[in-house]
Amino acid sequence: GQQLNQSPQSMFIQEGEDVSMNCTSSSIFNTWLWYKQDPGEGPVLLIALYKAGELTSNGRLTAQFGITRKDSFLNISASIPSDVGIYFCAGQLRGTSGSRLTFGEGTQLTVNP
Amino acid sequence: SQTIHQWPATLVQPVGSPLSLECTVEGTSNPNLYWYRQAAGRGLQLLFYSVGIGQISSEVPQNLSASRPQDRQFILSSKKLLLSDSGFYLCAWSNRASNQPQHFGDGTRLSIL
């Protein structure tokens, strides 16, 4: 089955720094999604990407759908303490039964004030 | 707007006891519904998904079962809990149309003693 490799597994940064994380897949996806999960809560959708090459921003967050459709990255600019959490990428293949997602293992982000 | 509710938020159960977790969605019709388990705050494992009333697909063999008695209600059950059933259980929904992102509830923290 499809697998997503998400890196890095964890990041420790200073407030104000920029952050970059990415996901790669052995096969193509039609949709890439990025979620953030705060402790004890469910993941919240940050950005959805639907076309190869698409670059989308949401405030300080920017994500891109790789041109090969096998990868995506998420950048966070000028990090703040509330950016702390686990970030997940997820890929979706059109026509998959139930529109199931394949998730990466997550990137744990720690921001030091 | 659409909302998703899960309850209870936390649950402590003895080994061998039954389980019933409930998830309901409001503000949409005919959603796809999903149950995930998350261990140690990383990696979402899809347990079940449903594309309609009474239609349940299981992703992994396990001690749990799911039911969808109504269009916007999804229930996760067990007749006899095991220690290994401990974890964070998340319900999610998506629109039936292809390539739609999933939206998650706030989860249930299940501890088995």
Backbone phi and psi for residue B25, each to the nearest 5 degrees, phi listed first: -120, 140
C-beta neighbour count of A78 within 10 angstroms: 11
Residue-by-residue pLDDT tens, chain B, 113 positions: 899 999 999 999 999 999 999 999 999 999 999 999 998 767 899 999 999 999 999 988 778 999 999 999 999 999 999 999 999 999 999 998 878 899 999 999 999 99
What's the pLDDT tens digit per position in A47-106? 999 999 999 999 999 999 999 999 999 999 999 999 999 999 999 988 788 888 999 999
Q: Which chain A residue is nearest to residue B33, measuring alpha carbons?
A: A98
Of A41, A45, A106, the CB nearest to B101: A45
Query: H or E stretch including A104?
Result: none
Are A44 and B104 in contact by the 8 Å Cβ rule? The answer is yes
Are B3 and B102 in contact by the 8 Å Cβ rule? The answer is no
Q: In the structure encoding, which two tokens stand for residue A15, read together?
A: 């407030």
